[in-house]
Chain A
Amino acid sequence: MEEKLFKFIQDTVGKVTGKRGLVYDTDFVKDLGLNSFDIMNVVCAFEEHFDVEIPNRDVWQLRQVKDVIEYMIRKGITDV
């Protein structure tokens, strides 16, 4: 499941921001140089795909790819 989620995050970030080369420890701001607009775009793409809402207060806790994977699993997302 983690691998599927990782692949989904990789594809979504690539499609929305054009950034490639993600690994589990990739930090969206420090390593990819994403700004708030990029991150909100990615959040919207996730929300639309999974039909969930990610509260703003949670968004900035999701610094690395692995944080997003853990968050999605906690949200009960079991398939992409």
Chain B
Amino acid sequence: MTLPNEIIVYIFKENDILGREERLIRAAQLYCQGISCASGEERVGECIDKTHFQVEKTPLGKPYFPQARELHFSISHSGEYWVCAFGPGEVGVDIQEHTMTRSETKQEATVRFAKMAHRFFHPVEAEFVTLESFYRFFGVWTARESYVKYTGQGIDASFSEHCVIPDTKEHWPELTPPLPGPAVSWQAQGVWFWETVFEENYTLCICAEAEMPCRVVWLTEEESV
């Protein structure tokens, strides 16, 4: 099968009536709409049997479709949203709401995030975050998460060893402010990152092997059933 040469992120509201498995199947069907099979037969996503999209996990926890190994996906959730990204190659996705703990001020959260960056991030990332902790923290956090989902490694002892931004300051990405805006992309660790604030106070990052078109598709309850 020939898959679309783009990554599509499907966004669902957590409070819709669908379960997570149903959302994933629905998104997989949408991504596969119109793909061509080796036989040349055009398949419509709706017609692809749901059994194609039974999920299994690798020993390290990365989900995959054993009956559709060529279809790559990644899942994330935070706050009000649940998202899955589909692509023709390995992909990792992460979203994160810009949350603070209860009764914490933004200034206190900023100090805490700088500490967390030094605890969990690569030293270069920690320096990058320290300059403007609050929003850059979420930018790096989602990039790190998307990277470990891309590799399938997950968060392990080596989590802090990989730097997901360029080593040199002049190549550091201009991470977006808290309001929705254009996506920013950069390369690090031999892979490509694409990041956007898709809704106020929600950062989303994709990690893929190489640069390719990325698209965000919102699925309302009506569209997703």
Q: Give residues in A with beta carbon < 8 Å to B.
A: 14-18, 33, 35-37, 40-41, 44, 47, 55-57, 59-60
Contact = CB atoms under 8 A, between A and B. Distances in A.
A56 to B, nearest CB: 5
B102 A55 contact: no
Given A37-B145, A56-B157, 5 more contacts: A16-B101, A36-B145, A37-B99, A44-B119, A57-B156
Nearest to B77: A35
Interface of B: 76-78, 96, 99, 101-103, 112, 115-116, 119-120, 141, 145, 154-157, 159-160
Nearest to B120: A40
Contacts of A15: 101-103
Contacts of A14: 102
A18 B76 contact: no
A29 B210 CA distance: 31
B78 A57 contact: no
Contacts of A16: 101-102
A35 B76 contact: yes
Contact of B116 (A17, A18, A44, A57): A44
Contacts of B141: 37
B192 to A, nearest CB: 21
Contacts of A55: 157
Contact of A56 (B96, B116, B155): B155
A56 B77 contact: no
Nearest to A56: B159
A49 B194 CA distance: 36
Contacts of B103: 15
Contacts of A18: 102
